[in-house]
Structure 1
Amino acid sequence: MSKKEEILTIAAKHFATYGYTGISLDKIAKEAGITKPAIYYHFTNKDELYEAVLLFRFDRLLSHLNDKVVAKKPVEKLVQYIEGFGEFLQQNSCFAAILAHEFADNGKHMSDVAARYLSKTLNLLTSILNEGIEKEEFAIENPMVVQMMIVSSLIMHQTTKELRKRVASFVEGYEVMPEPNIEDFAKLLARKMIKLVRKVP
């Protein structure tokens, strides 16, 4: 791992834990075993570092989804899209928390470049939904709403495990079932989403 990659990895962990405003370059430099000016050799400021952290993951997310969505039928493509998103969050543990912070801040610290990369996942989902509509397999749905339901559900799963346990422990008459891992949760979500968008004869 190069020093630049190490900085990106450490920064991602800090952004995931504290959000954009909760960290300083001094803390990142200290954990990386370098001086703060050494970070400026690779990134001009915190904004540029944060953008690099997001772009690094958005680029790989899009590549992962494009590799996953290989089916011929729109229904299968939608399943692969959702399950692929879940797989990526499983493999990139910091990413869900970073997105949770960013969504809570209404994208305040996300650059236009990063937002465009994020929009490419919506473009992919939209193409799947439009293909399903054209083939009369899907009813017309708002792609942004479908995307919100998918992404927010997966992010909540990844970032609220301890909270869910606490809340469930206080609910009377509620049998706490085994927690599904992210991949099983994504499969369950995919089944629910297919029922939602499928065109009823």
Structure 2
Amino acid sequence: MRAAKTKASGGAAVEDRPTQLIEIASRLFAAHGYAGTSLRDIAEEANITKAALYYHFPNKEALFEQILVDNLQALIDRVSDAIKPTDSAIDQVRAFMLTAADVFAEAPDAWLAGSQVFWSGMGPQVRAAAVSRRDQFEQLLRACIARGVASGEFRDVEPAVAGRLLLSTLNQMTRWIKLNGRLKPRQVIEQYLDIILIGMKTPGA
């Protein structure tokens, strides 16, 4: 379903106002951090008053929570769908990681904004929402690795340790990669996987 459209102050049609505000806030949070972005900054970028912004979001933390929850849940849904078509643990790990790289490439601002919650002074509600979904995301990958260990595709590695290693490549990549660079996120993760899975695979598998 297409989002309803409203008129911005300049008269141009824009997507529904909450969606517009979330996109602007994601970009500003990614660029300046949570503490370095004010509601005034977001309102000015959207060309609306702070009062109009408060109509949709009562405070900055509520706006940030919306960005966080929506994007983490979308990430979980995407990787869940990606790993379903195959029973091969190796293929599932590849599908998981490559899909996550695609999600980052499609919405880097939202990814970077959301990642800030784990080292910022967020309130307990926002942190709880983030940790719960982060744990779901990590457990999906660990389950793929555990299946590979059980089936003999992978050596007897500890799923939590191997999962953290794989996810660290993804998390660090999002901090240095240039989306207009020679290698795209998916290509970077493909190379990481080629290197890491050599060590995880059972010899001869």
Q: TM-score range by the shorter chain?
A: 0.7 to 0.9
Question: Do 1:86 and 1:154's aligned partners in 2 also have CA atoms closer than 8 Å?
Answer: yes
- Provide Cα deviations, 1:76-113, integer angstroms capped at 9, x if missing partner: 1011111111111111121343255445x2x5425201
Determine if contact 1:122/1:143 at 8 Å carries over to the other structure: no
The 1-side partners of 2:117 and 2:88 are apart by 33
Classify the secondary structure of the residue corresponding to 1:111. Answer: helix
Residue in 1 that maps onto 2:31: 17
Unaligned 5+ segments in structure 2 are: 1-14
Identical-residue share of aligned pairs (%): 21
Runs of 4+ in 1 over 6 A off after TM superposition: none
TM-score by length of 2: 0.80
Please give the alpha-carbon distance, in whole angstroms, between the structure 2 residues aligned to 1:95 and 1:195.
32
Aligned residues: 184
Aligned to 2:199: 196
Which residue of 141, 144, 152 maps to 1:136?
152
Contact 1:83 1:190 in 2 (8 A): no
| Corresponding residue for residue 166 of structure 1 | none
Q: Which has the higher contact order (CA 8 A, sep 6+)?
A: 1
Relative to 1, partners in 2 of residues 1:48 and 1:142: Cα closer, same or farther, differing over 3 Å? farther
**Could you say which residue in structure 1 is the equivalent of 2:51?**
37
Task: Give the whole-Å Cα distance in 2 for the aligned partners of 1:57 and 1:46.
Answer: 17
Q: Point out where structure 1 has 5 or more consecutive residues left out of the alignment.
A: 163-177
Partner of 1:183: 186
Compute the TM-score of the two structures, normalised by the length of structure 1: 0.81
The one-letter code of the counterpart of 1:136 is G
Native 8 Å contact 1:29 1:36 kept in 2: yes
Match of 1:115 in 2: 131
Q: Is the 8 A contact 2:82 2:95 kept in 1?
A: yes
